[in-house]
Structure 1
């Protein structure tokens, strides 16, 4: 299979280089500062934390993209989802404005691991479909984001099949003068497309041994306006011509006075963070980390477009407040016994989410509420000797899920029982793991060998108390899974500015509560029912990459991969008590369930060009291609869901002492309907009959610092006011968006 990877890589890079070369000739300039996200062009100096502890990028074989705090401020995105999307290197799907589901190498949702401050965010109910959990992290308080591509199970355990998004929040700062110090930051931002208003403030009080960091962010998003420049063939694509409102206590379908306004997409969100740092000596740090994120109800916009019998189906379909609370204690010690560095982290997370839906002219409001309590523990240690580095670790995550449901008559207020999304009894899912990661530097650092192993145990227990709704053939589900995963890779640096990497890695994901026992009606009007006979998923990925400096101005990078996906879990037709169709929500619907469809494969490549001839003017461009297919015995290959079309970003940037400006284009290729997975999560009902059209946007932003403590930012996104949707999204992207903001630093 490796020749296929090499051929695919050669094909995409050769075409891409022709495209870039033509663009560069037209511009007459080649630049690069964005590519390293404002850290440095020197790989020797780029420091990453993807290997648990600080490590220079040149010693990490796995592909990693870095977004620094400075770059986060320059991008000035309203949410964490938009921050990743605007990088051009991560594909992000949206079902509603209050959402954003990243895709890495054709894997999404529960197959991507989200980590904040070293703590797993993924829990027992992270679904395989698109989700919104990313936006519960306040991007305004991030020190950095590191995106790992490919399996990351050795260090981080289950779920990291396609990669991981590692988010590190800012640390409290001690005083450097010996006297108590104080500093603060304030951001006020406005975006016209959603009438968005964001206010953020944070302050730091630092002493010689202790420091306190506090932050608050509040965002208010109105109904989003989509673009007005439609594809010629689809002049009505995405238009919101009608919506449902209540008039005189009766649901009424009314005409939208402006069909570019996506009615019922607005929401508000607030985020708080507190950190206390205590450093009694140079060797020891104690950190208390408190985070809270909450929101108003978030309309599920894609479902509000659903039609049944020629009319809008849902009068209401919304998520209740998305709440995430975190309390964590971290201990860092240098030079303790065998280890040169030791880190202990103990944390508790509390997550609440709910779904609420009511059909048109029905008084029945169905409410399904989930509460998850998660305990995390990690212990990581690092040892240096000669040319070797050894990282050892133990970790555990304990999940408890409480699922409830009721139906409320909005006319009388009477509540009755309803089938819950998950079993209404006790649901637990616990992860236990131990790992070792080794790094060996040879030939004065020209050769680097990475290798590692992890042993992971996962147990799941789920109990159904009330089985009267569906009469499932079982009342409980129990699973115990054990997995051994690993990685091995090498990086070769024959000379300065040149690097070749190759690696093999395995990934593992144990089916969670959402995979095994959820009951859910999909957007395709399919009833999803429990299936207790699901095995863990495994991936085996081969990576090949290179980077080459051409002279002093131009650098090219490319990375190709091939993934063998085994025991892939996907929706497939199923029977419930011998029936392939059942009555649900007033209609006869087909029965589906998650099943191991045996195997699948994915391959793809990412390439980028960076360059600079001056310190002020810069250029960067990147392009990503992914392909995936399911293989089922006795059947022809079918498209694997979550596979994005070709996508990328090209930018030109100017940076001076007080001024910065950037012009950039974001673009996606066609996703033809033949490449959709009709029973998966590709949402072809929200696309055109031919699929999702290709699109591009032109964008401009600039900043000016008249004095050292004030920065004024302004920009225009989607200058051409194009109307488009990102693949698999049921929500149209913003139209022309004028963004202005003020940052003050004291």
Structure 2
């Protein structure tokens, strides 16, 4: 009954005043990003899909030397996603870790958190308090307001700066465009209901405009209930949450070759439980906390973009961005055995300005630009005694008023060396100013690190349908407020002091790949290796405070060796049948103080295989399997993490099916059946087992 009511409400909201077609042509932050000419299905997107992130220019995957995964509009509509990370599950080079429902991140080539740069419409999502471990902030981009997702695998700091070590994942939101001088409008409503977690999602959008002007807006509501695991288990408490989001965008072409874009986005999760703190994990007889809620999590974003396409002498295309982002990370926690409730208010206010230029000169295609970001951290904490009602001020999580500013310039050149050879080479200089005011113990720090980095890629067009590519790049991550901001008394009788010589972490990644693109086949396969040096680690200094506490500090002392294989295939057996598959394999070893051990949170062998068959022009059916091998190569941290079985995470596979019926023009009714065998399983590193047998009904109607 609740699902029927939900679908009815969704349909009622689809009035003519809310007319939008998210399937319409979508222009990215750099240029128009087009879908593949071939139909997309679950799995890897065909290689000829246009992307802009890898090179900051519109090129197909087949024509760039880098390893890129593109999730296009068709696949986005077919997925029943709750977070943006869900779209990247079982894509080449990505593995998804979800500590708690409603929050998830991609692990890219063995790296995660602030070791991967996350972006929305060309603006950094990573802030000064991103940590280099799983975090909740990627979920603050609306999964229903996505036109395309581009994942660049491998070090990408030459074009994108700090944090782009494992790669870059960029969300591109839809842009509504019209033809002709007459005003027109369009609309879309999407509703979905899932039995496994009782989740309900509604999205309504609308757009009006003409050839030179358009304005669009959308609203998303999400309500997630308690999750039911496999093998007919009971529903798990503390897995319910809600969220809502709103967005608006304006496009205006004041003159030929000029375009102004203004956009705003907002998302709030009012109260999201952290499941691994509230439900006992591996090695625990009881959970850590009675209360642990992100309350609320919030993201505000506003951006202006001005694009010029003209033969201006020193550029063919110029793009200027001004943006503002505020992320709120408030928390309410209480441990067992205490009447003290901890209340936190943390926020990042990130301002950014960028300018990027493209210019073709002979056999050279230049991309160059400058950028500057300014981040301010606000932080406060109080303790509430539930018996007395007394509220006392405590030291905040981060020194209030901490700042992290940066500026950089970069240049990349794509050179056609010969009919079959292309060289991409580039460099970047970045400068940072990081300042943390003194905390309650009188400890503060100021750092001014800089970095010079570069990359090179080579493409050999062996035939018209086979390209052999190789890349080498250096990535880096500047120390941020999270690395520097927790000083003074620490647990286990420690006292943390700042390190004014803390330097950026660095990684050098090499890969070799083959891309195959011909009618009826698209495929890619990459082998890669990374050397991660100068990883920031807390170490003992050998000294004691006057009170006898052990003095510790962060230093660049840990090294990692990572390597792996990524492969994707799509075979069009006939005009009505496609077969697809993805395989990812990663290994990692960490070294510290002469000791070597398995690296932290390395994904197991994983991927997907499946077949899509179009029964008629209006009906399609798909069967696919997701799989992951056993992962018992655990780091010392993994072995003590209640989210990870110390004996290793068991391997698993699920059988799934999807049926889609285009019952009217631009109207699709879908049924997705997941985990048909009702298996009980967990994705490695996640804080909770996945859903058991579940059905999702979706309605997508554009008009």
Shared fold per TM-score greater than 0.5: yes
Q: In the alignment, which residue of structure 1 is the partner of 2:20?
A: none
Partners of 2:322 and 2:353 within 8 A in 1? yes
Alignment of 1:72-221 (within 5 A): 72-85=76-89, 87=91, 89-174=93-178, 176-221=179-224
Q: In the alignment, which residue of structure 2 is the partner of 1:323?
A: 298
2:336 alignment partner, one of 331, 347, 360: 360
Change (3 A) 1:669 1:285: same
Alignment of 1:674-689 (within 5 A): 675-679=633-637, 684-689=641-646
Change (3 A) 1:38 1:632: closer
- For 2:489 and 2:604, how far apart are their aligned partners in 1? 27
The structural deviation recorded for 1:351 is: 1.2
Cα RMSD after superposing both structures = 2.6
Partners of 1:350 and 1:374 within 8 A in 2? yes
Does 271-280 or 355-364 show the bigger shift?
355-364
- For 2:533 and 2:406, how far apart are their aligned partners in 1? 21
- For 1:108 and 1:52, how far apart are their aligned partners in 2? 23
CA deviations on 1:252-308 (whole Å, 9 max, x unpaired) are xxxxxxx63220121101111100111122210001010111111110100113489
- For 2:153 and 2:207, how far apart are their aligned partners in 1? 34
Partners of 1:537 and 1:568 within 8 A in 2? yes
Q: In the alignment, which residue of structure 2 is the partner of 1:627?
A: 587
Q: In the alignment, which residue of structure 1 is the partner of 2:688?
A: 731
Partners of 1:106 and 1:602 within 8 A in 2? yes
Change (3 A) 1:571 1:123: same
CA deviations on 1:469-525 (whole Å, 9 max, x unpaired) are xxxxx6211111111011011111121221101111000110100012236999x99
Alignment of 1:489-528 (within 5 A): 489-518=457-486
Alignment of 1:310-459 (within 5 A): 310-335=285-310, 336-424=312-400, 426-444=401-419, 446-459=420-433
Change (3 A) 1:146 1:36: farther
The structural deviation recorded for 1:667 is: 1.1
Partners of 2:346 and 2:380 within 8 A in 1? yes
The structural deviation recorded for 1:726 is: 1.2
- For 1:678 and 1:531, how far apart are their aligned partners in 2? 25
Change (3 A) 1:631 1:613: same
Q: In the alignment, which residue of structure 2 is the partner of 1:743?
A: 700
Change (3 A) 1:645 1:570: farther
Partners of 2:65 and 2:457 within 8 A in 1? yes
Partner SS, residue 503 of structure 2: coil
Gap runs ≥5 in structure 1: 1-31, 230-258, 468-473, 583-589
The reply on whether 1:692 has 2:649 as its aligned counterpart is: yes
Partners of 1:33 and 1:612 within 8 A in 2? no
CA deviations on 1:55-105 (whole Å, 9 max, x unpaired) are 233331110011111110012322212121254652111111121021000
Change (3 A) 1:366 1:180: same
Partner SS, residue 642 of structure 2: helix
Q: In the alignment, which residue of structure 1 is the partner of 2:449?
A: 481
Change (3 A) 1:34 1:619: farther
Q: In the alignment, which residue of structure 2 is the partner of 1:609?
A: 569
TM-score of the two chains, using structure 2 as the length reference: 0.89
CA deviations on 1:148-207 (whole Å, 9 max, x unpaired) are 000110111000000010111111313x13211110100111011111011100011112
CA deviations on 1:606-648 (whole Å, 9 max, x unpaired) are 1233312201111111111111112234x23112213111111
Partner SS, residue 355 of structure 2: strand
Q: In the alignment, which residue of structure 2 is the partner of 1:281?
A: 255
Partner SS, residue 76 of structure 2: helix
Change (3 A) 1:405 1:182: same
Partner SS, residue 100 of structure 2: coil
Partner SS, residue 141 of structure 1: coil
Partners of 1:538 and 1:565 within 8 A in 2? yes
1:271 alignment partner, one of 242, 245, 254: 245
- For 1:576 and 1:325, how far apart are their aligned partners in 2? 44
- For 2:417 and 2:45, how far apart are their aligned partners in 1? 26
The structural deviation recorded for 1:535 is: 2.1
The structural deviation recorded for 1:552 is: 5.9
Change (3 A) 1:618 1:529: farther
Partner SS, residue 732 of structure 1: coil
- For 2:561 and 2:585, how far apart are their aligned partners in 1? 14
Q: In the alignment, which residue of structure 1 is the partner of 2:511?
A: 543
CA deviations on 1:203-250 (whole Å, 9 max, x unpaired) are 111124210010110100011111127xxxxxxxxxxxxxxxxxxxxx
The structural deviation recorded for 1:380 is: 0.3
Partners of 2:301 and 2:324 within 8 A in 1? yes
Partner SS, residue 721 of structure 1: coil
Aligned pairs, how many? Answer: 662
TM-score of the two chains, using structure 1 as the length reference: 0.84
Partners of 1:36 and 1:66 within 8 A in 2? no
